[in-house]
Structure 1
Amino acid sequence: MTKGKGYRRPRALSPLREHLRDTFWFAPTAAMVLVFALWAGAAELDAALIGALQDHQQYDEVTELIRLADDAKPVISTVSSAMMTFIGVVFSISLVAVQMASGQFTPRVVRIFMRSRITKLTFAVFLATFTLTLLVLTSFESDAQAHLVTTVPFLQSVLTLLMVALSLFLFIAYVNSTLRLMRVGYVIDRITGESLRVIDKMPRGDVDARELGPAIGRVGYVGRAGVLRDVNIARLVRAAQRQGVVLRLIPRLGDFVVPGTPLLAVHGGEEGRAPSRGALRYTVSVGVERTFHQDLGFGLRQLCDIALRALSAAINDPTTAVQCLDRIVQLLSALADRPLGAVGHPDGDGVVRLVQDVPDWSDVVDLAFAEVRMCAVGSPQVTRRIMAGLDDLLRIAPASRHQPLVRQRELLARAVSLAVPDETERAFALEPDRQGIG
């Protein structure tokens, strides 16, 4: 079994990078360390500047610097006392916004807030500004009358004022970003954009797993329980090449695995040729939640969750469900003519050494429509949008992929006919409309 030259191996997920993206401590800590280094450098420059002026007996310039620094001291003191209160108020509001968004959309969208670069940058700059003001306030030591100057934090004061200006600018950007993240349209667009990037980078599924033959062995998962987020394809391919076998990844990305779960099936070669535990070390990455990295279904899962939450009796927002269906149809359109199923990863000679199972066309269609269809029976706006979306996909997808779409269409028509006894209302609910009801 060989692979064509157009193959592009997916990039491995960095566990450290994912950890830093999912945490809030790294950026503020790094910013405070950096601002301490900047303050130390500015203090050295201030000392050198004052020393040079005194050596040349330019006492008028020294006095002017002292005056400017003293004028800045009240401002720095005010900023220092107000900054922590400001930080507390701003981020308390942020926590309320995150709670509202997770309740209205889905808890899965909290990751968007956690990974927001502008949020982390704003928090980091706010804390760095507060730290800098404390450091600068300790540097105000001078005697202008005797021209005996130990330190005049002129450059430090300028640096503090620049940090204050940057904090104000980032606060405006942060408020704008937070308000955007609370808009359902923007959240849905973010999810769709990330899903499309996954589709663009995903290898084409053009391997028939039935050609592998019977498995000669299996390798169980060893490690902590969690969601399978990534596999290191390069290491698995090298391990299989050394043993002259083909490995098949049994769980899909996004599956929850526990110690002992069958992880890899070994095909080809002789009995007992499975790679050793040492060769398979650090080949899988497990976490507490799914990521978009190589996970084709995660974006559809989030869009369906938002649509289901919108269709619940507590929220009753069918228009949001229609917005989700718009994007679901967009994603399925991008997958309509793409080979799906098992993906083969070759070695340097072009021989497939790792087979990875990904959702096929029937799987993604069921994920996209099954749950939303069952909850949408009482909402003609949503049923009309589903019918229009299925009709559009039937026109876009090749004939070999029509069966799952036709099945979803028939199931929706049957459910509506059972729930809506009036023939006129039933015909209205099943009429295709891309806007639902305008």
Structure 2
Amino acid sequence: MSTQEPGVRRPPRRRRPPALSPLREHLRDTFWFAPAAGLVGVLLLWWAAAELDAAIVAAFQERREYEALGELVGLADDAKTIITTVSSAMMTFIGVVFSISLVAVQMASGQLSPRVVRIFVRSRITKLTLAVFLATFVLSLLVLAAYDGEPDPRKVTAVPLVQSVLTMAMVALSLVLFIAYVNSTLRLMRVSHVMDRISRESLALLKAQERDREEEVVLGPETARLTYEGRAGALRDVYIARLVRVARRRGAVLRLIPRIGDFVLPGTPVIAVHGGAEVTRKAVRRTVSVGVERTFHQDLGFGLRQLADIALRALSPAVNDPTTAVQALDRIVQFLAVAVNLPLGALRHRDGQGRVRLVQDVPSWTDLVDLGLTEIRGVVAGNPQVSRRMMAGIDDLLSLAPPGRREVLERHRALLVEVVERTVPDAADREFALTADRQGIG
């Protein structure tokens, strides 16, 4: 896109993307970061508690309050029994608890879609529970090692009283998190809650992607193309803040050629440069993230892809669960109803002065409707509950859509009627299957 001419009113300044946004999202897709951070945190916490215990012992000995110090030694010895029990049982408890996660993931992958497994991986309560459990186990070992076994208060060097209290507090926190974890896991094993989670993340991304309502700015001449160098995979996201910064420094406009979610091969072009000084591959290194699967971070169509997959799996002969397909259609229609009046198309990311620096292609309204309805419509034969819900959803969207966005909905409505008329021989059954019903069949 061409830069803005002097004297032309600039559009409102957009909220700049967080500098660490891609890194934060990538860490959320891992299962190691939260436990590792928890272990580092508990080591620091134990060190502070050990220093406090040493200061307490030194203060009692300096004041020659040996009787009071002896009472503290007794309390610490009593707590040692509890900590020993905690230390021996915690790892077994961890193994039993997190076997629940593996069962839940296996059930969700088999009954819903393999793409919903990422919901369990990204679950904050699961990661927090694992981190606290491991931290409690490590802390109990450190506290046990801190006992010196000296009964004489005059010679004692360490009384891990604060450390013992801290360990018991961690045990209490572990029990609370265990209850919350079981509740969260049981919720995620229910298809309605999984689809609600997918829907909320999709709507959050839809609202977060700010788009210009103004007319398209004409792109200038293309001066270069930068190819992707790395292993093949799905384009997960791009580092928007860095690309905008590079384009501003070079006085250029960058255009992302593939769409987020596309499968990218080494040697294929990923960034087109328009105008400005030369932009080298080194300048945009590590701005394109490719992985083995798609993510929600910048992928607008991924939520609809998951909902459509759940509906297709539910309508397969092996599962035969049209009610689940109707629930998936509820969420698809909800997403499309929010998107129907939003400006869709290319995202134009601007620098601090309001100049366009990065153009990113995203699904259009037609793309979103086709993604949400096409495959489900193809398997509605013999499932009047699903065809009735789809008819009601299309009618609702037609009532909300502006004139320019009704054509694709009318096309899907006509194709739905055609599928039902071709596969349902009886006229009364056809009429029933094509009657709009938001619950499918009540």
Distance change >3 Å, CA 129–CA 232, structure 1 → 2: closer
Match of 1:66 in 2: 73
Query: What secondary structure, in the 3-state scheme, does the structure 1 residue paired with 2:406 have?
Result: helix
In the other structure, the counterpart of 2:387 is: 383
CA 35–432 in structure 1, closer or farther in 2 if over 3 Å, else same: same
Alpha carbons of 1:239 and 1:157: their partners in 2 closer, same or farther (altered >3 Å)?
A: closer
Relative distance call for 1:347 and 1:218 in structure 2 (3 A) is: same
Evaluate the alpha carbon distance shift between residue 20 and residue 343 of structure 1 in structure 2; reply closer, same or farther with a 3 A threshold.
closer
Please show how residues 363-378 of structure 1 align to structure 2 within 5 Å. 363-378=367-382
Task: State the alpha-carbon separation in 2 of the partners of residues 241 and 148 from structure 1.
Answer: 68
**1:405 aligned partner:** 409
Distance 1:88 1:36, change over 3 A: same
Counterpart secondary structure, 2:378: helix
Correspondent of 1:32 among 36, 39, 53:
39
Query: Using the alignment, how far apart are the partners of 1:327 and 1:283 within structure 2?
Result: 33
Q: Is the 8 A contact 1:212 1:268 kept in 2?
A: no
| One-letter identity of the residue aligned with 2:108 | A
**Equivalent residue for 2:104?**
97
Map of 1:192-341 to 2, 5 A cutoff?
A: 192-204=199-211, 206=213, 211-212=218-219, 215=222, 217-240=224-247, 245-267=252-274, 275-341=279-345
Give TM-score scaled by structure 2 length. 0.91
Give secondary structure in 2 for the equivalent of 1:199.
helix
Q: 1:77 to 1:286 in 2, by over 3 A?
A: same
Contact in 2 for aligned 1:10/1:203 (Cα 8 Å): no
2:61 matched residue in structure 1: 54
Gaps of 5+ in 1: none
Instruction: Report the 3-state secondary structure (helix = DSSP H, G, I; strand = E; otherwise coil) of the residue aligned with 1:46.
Output: helix
Sort the Cα spacing of 1:149 and 1:216 in 2 relative to 1 into closer, same or farther, 3 A.
closer
Q: Distance in 2 between matches of 1:133 and 1:212?
A: 63
Kept in 2: contact 1:230–1:284 (CA 8 A)? yes
Asked if 1 retains the 8 angstrom alpha-carbon contact of 2:22 and 2:238, the reply is no
1:339 Cα deviation after fit: 1.6
Match of 2:86 in 1: 79
Superimposed CA distance per residue, residues 343-390 of structure 1 (whole angstroms, 9 cap, x where no aligned partner): 333455544343322111111100010011112222111110000000
Alpha-carbon separation, structure 2, partners of 1:36 and 1:241: 44
What's the CA shift for 1:15?
A: 4.3
Q: Name the % identity.
A: 65
Is 1:23 the counterpart of 2:30 in the alignment?
yes
Does the CA contact (< 8 Å) of 1:220 and 1:264 recur in 2? yes
Q: 1:377 to 1:205 in 2, by over 3 A?
A: farther
Query: Which amino acid letter does the alignment assign opposite residue 29 of structure 1?
Result: A
Structure 1 residues 229 and 173: alpha-carbon distance in aligned structure 2, compared to 1, 3 A threshold: same
Q: Select which of 338, 341, 347 maps to 1:343.
A: 347
- 2:250–2:279: 8 Å Cα contact kept in structure 1? yes
The superposition leaves residues 35-62 of structure 1 with CA deviations (integer Å, 9 ceiling, x where unpaired) of 2232233233223323322333333322
- Alpha-carbon spacing, 1:390–1:62, altered in 2? closer, same or farther (3 Å): same
1:247–1:267 Cα contact (<8 Å) kept: yes
Give the counterpart letter for 2:258 in structure 1: P
Aligned to 2:260, the other structure's residue is in SS state coil
CA displacement 1:248-272 (0-9 Å, x = unmatched): 3221111111112122334457xxx
TM-score normalised by structure 1 residue count: 0.92
Secondary structure of 2:82 counterpart:
helix
Partner residue, 2:134: 127
C-alpha change, 1:277 and 1:47, in structure 2 (3 Å) is closer
For residues 274 and 22 of structure 2, the distance between their equivalents in structure 1, rounded to whole angstroms, comes to: 29
Q: Distance in 1 between matches of 2:153 and 2:279?
A: 80
Between 1:211-220 and 1:422-431, the stretch displaced more is 211-220
Determine the structure 1 residue equivalent to 2:118: 111
* C-alpha distance in structure 1 between counterparts of 2:207 and 2:375, whole Å: 26
**What RMSD over aligned residues (CA atoms) do the two structures have, in Å?**
2.4
- Cα deviation for residue 117 of structure 1 reads 1.2
Q: Does 1:425 align with 2:429?
A: yes
In structure 2, the CA distance between the partners of 1:309 and 1:241, relative to structure 1 (3 Å rule), is same
Shift of 1:231: 2.5
Q: Write the distance in 2 (CA, Å) between the matches of 1:318 and 1:211.
A: 47
Aligned-pair CA distance for 1:164? 1.0
Distance 1:348 1:130 in 2: 49
The 1-side partners of 2:412 and 2:310 are apart by: 20
State which of 44, 48, 52 in structure 2 corresponds to 1:45: 52
Is contact 2:66–2:153 with CA below 8 Å preserved after alignment?
Answer: no
Shift of the 239–141 alpha-carbon distance from structure 1 to 2, 3 Å rule, reads closer
CA contact (8 A) 2:54 2:159 kept: yes
Instruction: Show the counterpart of 2:7.
Output: none
Worse-matched range after superposition: 9-18 or 99-108: 9-18
Unaligned runs of 5+ residues in structure 2 are 5-9
Distance 1:10 1:369, change over 3 A: farther
Are the equivalent residues in 2 in contact too, given 1:191–1:299 (CA < 8 A)?
A: yes
The answer as to whether partners of 1:142 and 1:152 remain within 8 angstroms in 2 is no
Match of 2:365 among 361, 370, 376: 361
Counterparts in 2 of 1:154 and 1:234: CA distance versus 1, 3 Å: closer
Is residue 43–residue 139 contact of structure 2 (8 Å, CA) maintained in 1?
A: yes
SS of 1:344's equivalent in the other structure is strand
Number of equivalenced pairs: 435
Instruction: Decide whether aligned partners of structure 1 residues 316 and 231 sit closer, same or farther in structure 2, where only a CA change above 3 A counts.
Output: same
**Could you tell me how far apart the structure 2 residues matched to 1:8 and 1:157 are?**
47
